[in-house]
Amino acid sequence: MAVVELLVGTTNPGKLAEIRAHLGTLPIHIVPLGKLASWPEVAEDGKSFEENALKKARTLADFTGMPTLADDSGLEVDALGGAPGIHSARYSGEDANDARNNERLLQELAGLPREKRTARFVCVLALCLPDSRQRGDWLFRGECGGWIAFAPRGDNGFGYDPLFFFPPFGKTFGEVDRETKGRVSHRGKALGKFAEALPTLLPLLHRP
């Protein structure tokens, strides 16, 4: 079976590693965004994970002429009305990083008991064909529920993983390895749906 080149629209090494781990055995060759000489900046100004993921994938597919997979993901905390949500990556401001984002989240939830710290990770993957082909796009959504710990635990993963406590494991995502996390995570579930759909999609991806 011919291998399809698939542009993955992220420069986040953690996301890229998770995507490679899930799709590595499939008949696709992953092209990381960072391998391109240049690419357009995409403002993530949509009102939902779906809008942002589609915008990224569509922009990059049309720019490169390659089938493109892009994601938008984040953490929704019930006590915060679903925040940080689509603003997860910049929760602590324009100079945000994982540590600052986690610190702000803990501050926002200070004093709340465990039963009021429920949350879920959400990931939406968008697959888009270039505009030069028969236009097409697909969405794959995954969610994973848990609650926000009272302090960071574990050095694995990235983003809010050290604060996201997953009850079936009795640990945060920061305390488990990538493979273990990937079996239950929001991105793992979305990638699983993409992998299930791939046999149907391959003829379209091969189309010149």
pLDDT above 60: residue 103: yes
pLDDT above 60: residue 132: no
What are the helix and strand counts (H, E) for the chain? 5, 7
Q: Which carries the bigger pLDDT value, residue 135 or residue 15?
A: 15
One-letter amino acid of 157: G
Q: Which CATH topology does 4-206 take?
A: Maf protein (3.90.950)
Which pLDDT band, with edges at 50, 70 and 90, does 207 fall under? low
Half-sphere exposure of 109 (CA within 13 A, CB side): 28
Q: In what order do the strands lie in the sheet with 137-148?
A: 28-32, 4-8, 68-77, 118-128, 137-148, 164-166, 171-172
Q: Write the pLDDT tens digit of every residue in 26-40.
A: 888 899 998 998 999
Pairing between β-strand 28-32 and β-strand 68-77 as defined by DSSP bridges: unpaired
Residue 110: other Cβ atoms inside 10 A? 8
Which pLDDT band, with edges at 50, 70 and 90, does 43 fall under? confident
Please, are residues 67 and 127 in contact by the beta-carbon 8 Å criterion? Answer: yes
Enumerate the active-site residues.
72
Q: Would you state the pLDDT for residue 21?
A: 85
Mean pLDDT to the nearest integer, 116-131: 94
Domain ranges of the chain: 4-206
Q: Which carries the bigger pLDDT value, residue 152 or residue 34?
A: 152
pLDDT above 80: residue 136: no
Mean pLDDT to the nearest integer, 123-147: 88
Distance (Å, rounded) from C-alpha 47 to C-alpha 5?
30
Please, are residues 51 and 71 in contact by the beta-carbon 8 Å criterion? Answer: no
